[in-house]
Amino acid sequence: MTVVLFIAVLAFLIFIHELGHFLFAKLSDAQVDEFCIGFPPRIFSKKYGETLYSIGILPIGGFVKIVGEDGDYDTNPPRMTAKNTDIDEENNKLQPTTNDVNKLDELPENPRSLANKPRYLQALVMVAGVLFNVIGAWVLIIFGLTIGLPAEISNLKYDNYIQNSQTTIVIVEESSPADLAGIKEGDVVLTIFDNHNKIDNPNPENISEFLNTDEKTDPTTFVINRGDETINIETSSVLNDENQKIIGIGLSKVGIMKLPPHLAVSAGTIITYEMTRDTAVGLFTIIKKTFTGHTEILKNISGPVGIAKMVGSARDHGLGALILLTAIISINLAIINLLPLPALDGGRLIMIAIESVTRKKIKAKIAGLVNGLGLLFLLILMLIITYKDILRLL
């Protein structure tokens, strides 16, 4: 069930992204040869007008095939007919006349090739997928807020709309005592106790005080609600660099925020903006630390396997959690696609910028080679991340 749900979420987000490219290409009157969700071999295809609509068997991506997106200006030679050919008697083949060959460079370029559109239209088509991912996340968050989304109490103006708040574990540090004991993000803390004390319905503050008691040396038992289960997990504190007792968790009061439609729109807009900003800052931090030698940060990056696990976990916590996670993934896809890497939308935008500065069109062969190498790099990176995801599951 988790795999099916993951594929459904991924297909939806890919569809939203490629729909942006498709619609803006059509609005720009560019020729669109194919709209495909998934990668070939195709399991379904149907042609309407000039465009082939298809579904690929590999649900890890999608594409919109736009004439000229890789710099192909579509200057096709004239069709060979007896009227404009000479006969090569030795090989018994039709050959273009010398006069026709000289005219090939004078043929008009395809006006519907994207490469022949104004560069601002090319840029809009390239950025449309990113824009639609952000819009898709915005719509999901607004809808989620009308039916109820998980939200932390943070003393903001919408806190009075949060119902059934409970002390929830929102962070579990990797390889910490809590992680090794089996505590997971999203677990709700019902009770904590040791051999001397017990707290029912604890809040983040008194849990912290309970764990940091000077004389405390015995293990702490957490009574956890996880989905439909209530389980007991025992763990012990360790000292951090500041000589504080920790078990490696972050806690918050989390409930369900349900807003009327007019407030859902305003709150959803703010949440989408903050989520997009924080995602961009976080990605920039990862790149910066990676290039400065802090490669340990890459341990927390998830690929398809890790995301599938998160989707399954979100499903266990209800529809609202799944909607919120889908919106988060959509924004991550948008930001990642803006990276200036070949084969990504950001890389194509860089090529358009170079053409704008140099006033020269990049040759189709060069653009195709660069994008091909970029795609190969991304596939290798994805395989490495997926391998690490699988190791984390074992």
The tens digit of pLDDT for each residue in 181-212 reads 989 888 899 999 888 888 998 888 888 888 87
Ordered by where they begin, the domains of the chain are: 79-108 (no CATH), 159-257 (2.30.42.10)
Higher-confidence position of 345 and 288: 345
- Residue 125 and residue 112 in contact, taking contact as beta carbons nearer than 8 Å: no
Give the C-alpha separation, 212 to 119, whole Å: 61
pLDDT at position 84 is: 40
- Residue 132 and residue 36 in contact, taking contact as beta carbons nearer than 8 Å: no
- Residue 347 and residue 69 in contact, taking contact as beta carbons nearer than 8 Å: no
For 102, the enclosing helix (H) or strand (E) is helix 98-103
Nearest to 189 by CA among 213, 150, 220, 154: 220
Give the C-alpha separation, 255 to 250, whole Å: 16
Q: What is the pLDDT confidence band of residue 80, given thresholds at 50, 70 and 90?
A: very low
- Residue 276 and residue 282 in contact, taking contact as beta carbons nearer than 8 Å: no
pTM: 0.76
The two tokens of residue 147 are 């039916």
pLDDT at position 393 is: 55
pLDDT at position 132 is: 96
Give the C-alpha separation, 252 to 159, whole Å: 13
Residue type, 162: I
The two tokens of residue 209 are 């005080």
